[in-house]
Structures are given as C-alpha cells and as structure tokens.
C-alpha cells in the first residue's frame, strides 16, 4: 500500500518566522534545519537526493569553466569589445546578444564582456525535472510519490495554482504527493522579510497551507504531512563592494578569476604568487570571512574546482555590484549555514518521529526514505 505522505515544499520559509504564522506554528513537531552552503541548486540535491556538492560535482549555478562558457568562441574579441562598449548598458546589451543561444530560458548574470569566456552554467535544478537530474532522488526512486511540478505561470501566481491542485487531488483520494510552493522566495528578495507585502503574502500562503493541513489530517490521521523549506531569508541592510582588481591587479585566466554571488565569493588562483595577497585581502575584508578547510569538509565542498577561496558575507550584507547582479536584492539567503536567519523548517503532522533529531538537509532525505519504504 502506498504510504499516506504529503510533502509541501515552501521555498525560503525561515524557521525564525514561524511565530508570525497561524497554521505552520501549530505543527506538533518542528525542527530547525541547517541548510548546506550555497543556493537552492545544491540544497535541493541534498534534501531530495541526499547528495552534497562534492557528490554532484557542482557548487552554485555558475562556475569557472572557460571552454563551456558562452563567450568562449569570442574570446579573442572580448577585450576589445569590452573596451569599446564601456557604458554599462551597452556592455550588458552586447552581452545579452552574444549569449542569447546559451541555455535558453536561463538568465546570464552580470558578467562583464571581458569575462564572458570564463564562467559556465553547471548546476541542474532537481525540481525543474527530476527525471533529467543525473542522480536518483526520492522522486525517481519511489514511483508511489506523485511529483507536482512548479506551474508555468508568472511568479507570484504559482502558489495559488498549486494549492488548488493539491486540494483537487486530496478530494480525489490521492495521498502520496509532493507539492512545491515557490513564490515566497521572490517576495523575500523583492521586499525583505520585515516589509508589509512580504508578511501579507506569508499570511496568505499560511492560510492555503492551513486548509490543506485540515483536510489531510482529518482524512489521514495515521498519515504523514510535512512542510519543509530549503533555507531562510534575511533583509539585506547594506551593500559592500570588492576591490580585488584594485588591490591585486587585473583578473584573467593567467592570474586569478573571481565570481561573486550576492553574498558568496569564489576565487580561482592561477598565478601562485597571488595566493598570499588574495588571502590577506580577504582576511582583512570587513563583513565576511573565508570558509575554512574544516568547513569545506563538513559541508562537502572540498572539490578544488569550486574555488581556491570561498568567502561568505555576514547576514544582512550583499555585494554591490556582484557578478550575479548590478544591484543588491532587498532580501537574500545563502549566507553561512550556521547564521540564525538561514535556518529552514521541517514541520510534521502524524505519528511522532522516533529517530535522532533532524538537523541538516541530508537528515530530511533519509527521513523521507524511511516513510516511503514504510519504516515509519
Ligand atoms: Zn531565493
């Protein structure tokens, strides 16, 4: 018999905001879950497939990989084009033109023309299509679990459609289901988590979840209902700018290369003489710190292709500009996994968990496996 299991995934629901909800806060069991380092592309692989970045072979969506970059075939022209197209909008316009056939549907981040021959898209989002993800996950291993995809609707309109679909399936007697609620994340990035539009949306989403909770727990008192998230979200208070090139010298594939996401910086060093000055510059940079070797082992990010240096900002700061975006977002996640605002949720309705306390994303994967194999 198929397990009675409903997994509701809420992108970016912070554990810290549970007290602001009516329904989620009432979960009989609630664990604060530490995310992995980085962003969803890696955290989802850990949560639904039990795999750390070292296991999947990528860390972040973009990485230093010149031959697979969108600008590789224009590499000899790029320095000249960069010099000719100095004004930002022109530079960005030509970048868009040169990259329009590169992985259609993905946004090429804020990479200056002269660096367009360095970074390539590597990560694969498991929730986009679990059958295209190159590893087994709970969605491909357990056929009983119905996977609802993220609807192809505008951002902000998807959660309501998912809610209606879940209710429709519950009414039809289905009870082994995974459903993603992706929209809270965008409200967080756009407004920060203290602003009224974000909190209003959280209340709206919480009410939809409440209706599902009521229905599922009434009909399946021995079933398992989970609400899980991949990480938290904090309001960005301040932008900080890097001066690597001013301090260290020009970046190139012969010297060093840096890619900054909103709050995570990776540096690849080719000229060994630059290693010590780069380390010194980053150690002295206020507002963040280098990720240590011990941490890289703990979080499964030891692969040297992930960068010689990984540097993370303190919660509430963001690089402005970054290689990812020209301006900082109003809210962000992807800070140090121990930081208080980054903690994710695992909420449970159903027979109590007997195992060790759940702490990290991999624990959730193992727990889902236990339910799906009928051992809980
Ligand atoms: Zn996000």
Average pLDDT over residues 33-47: 97
For residue 222, the CA-to-ligand 1 centroid distance in Å is: 34
- CA 149 from centre of chain: 17
Structural domain harbouring 227: 5-52+138-233+340-372
Whole-number pLDDT of residue 280: 97
Number of domains in the chain: 2
For residue 290, the CA-to-ligand 1 centroid distance in Å is: 22
For residue 186, the CA-to-ligand 1 centroid distance in Å is: 6
Lowest mean pLDDT among 116-120, 314-318, 321-325: 321-325
Identify whether residues 255 and 321 lie together within a single domain. yes
Average pLDDT over residues 29-43: 97
What the block records as the tokens of 135 is 């590893």
Q: Which residues surround ligand 1, an ion (CB under 5 A)?
A: 185
User: pLDDT digits over 336-371, tens only?
Assistant: 999 999 999 999 999 999 999 999 999 999 999 999
Q: Please provide the size of the chain in residues.
A: 376
Strand partners, 26: none
User: pLDDT digits over 143-193, tens only?
Assistant: 999 999 999 999 999 999 999 999 999 999 999 999 999 999 999 999 999
Does any domain span residue 168? yes
Tokens 């975006």 correspond to 325
Q: Helix or strand or coil: residue 163?
A: helix
Average pLDDT over residues 70-86: 89
How many CA atoms are closer than 13 Å to the CA of 98, on its beta-carbon side?
Answer: 25
Whole-number pLDDT of residue 252: 94
Identify whether residues 172 and 303 lie together within a single domain. no
Identify whether residues 324 and 245 lie together within a single domain. yes
We report the CATH number of the domain holding residue 241 as: 3.30.1360.110
Does any domain span residue 37? yes
Mean pLDDT for the chain overall:
95
Identify whether residues 229 and 247 lie together within a single domain. no
Whole-number pLDDT of residue 85: 84
Q: How confident is the model at residue 236 (pLDDT cuts 50, 70, 90)?
A: very high
Strand partners, 180: 9
For residue 254, the CA-to-ligand 1 centroid distance in Å is: 33
Tokens 């969605």 correspond to 139
For residue 299, the CA-to-ligand 1 centroid distance in Å is: 20
For residue 55, the CA-to-ligand 1 centroid distance in Å is: 23
Whole-number pLDDT of residue 107: 76
């Amino acid at each position: 018999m198929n397990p009675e299991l409903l997994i509701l995934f809420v992108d970016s629901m912070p554990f810290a905001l549970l007290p602001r909800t009516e329904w989620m806060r009432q979960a009989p069991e609630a664990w604060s879950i530490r995310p992995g380092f980085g962003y969803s592309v890696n955290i989802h692989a850990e949560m639904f497939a039990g795999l750390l970045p070292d296991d999947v072979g990528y860390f972040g969506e973009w990485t230093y990989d010149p031959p697979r970059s969108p600008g590789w075939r224009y590499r000899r022209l790029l320095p000249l084009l960069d010099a000719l197209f100095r004004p930002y909008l022109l530079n960005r316009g030509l970048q868009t033109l040169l990259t329009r056939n590169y992985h259609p549907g993905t946004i090429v981040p804020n990479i200056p023309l002269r660096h367009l021959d360095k970074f390539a898209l590597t990560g694969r989002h498991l929730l986009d299509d679990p059958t295209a993800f190159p590893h087994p996950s709970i969605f491909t291993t357990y056929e009983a679990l119905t996977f609802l995809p993220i609807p192809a609707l505008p951002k902000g309109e998807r959660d309501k459609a998912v809610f209606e679909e879940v209710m429709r399936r519950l009414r039809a007697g289905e009870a082994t289901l995974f459903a993603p609620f992706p929209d809270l994340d965008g409200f967080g990035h756009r407004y920060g988590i203290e602003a009224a539009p974000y909190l209003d949306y959280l209340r709206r989403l919480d009410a939809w979840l409440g209706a599902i909770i009521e229905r599922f727990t009434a009909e399946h008192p021995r079933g398992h209902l989970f609400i899980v998230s991949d990480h938290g979200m904090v309001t960005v208070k301040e932008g900080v700018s890097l001066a690597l090139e001013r301090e260290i010298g020009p970046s190139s594939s012969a010297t060093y290369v840096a890619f900054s996401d909103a709050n995570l910086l990776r540096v690849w060093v080719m000229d060994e003489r630059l290693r010590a000055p780069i380390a010194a510059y980053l150690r002295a940079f206020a507002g963040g710190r280098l990720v240590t070797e011990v941490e890289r082992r703990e979080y499964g990010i030891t692969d040297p292709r992930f960068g010689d240096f990984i540097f993370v900002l303190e919660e509430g700061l963001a690089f402005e500009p970054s290689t990812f975006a020209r301006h900082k977002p109003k809210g962000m996640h992807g800070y140090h996994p121990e930081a208080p605002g980054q903690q994710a949720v695992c909420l449970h309705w159903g027979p109590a968990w007997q195992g060790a306390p759940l702490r990290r994303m991999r624990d959730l994967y193992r727990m889902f496996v236990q339910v799906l194999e009928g051992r809980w």
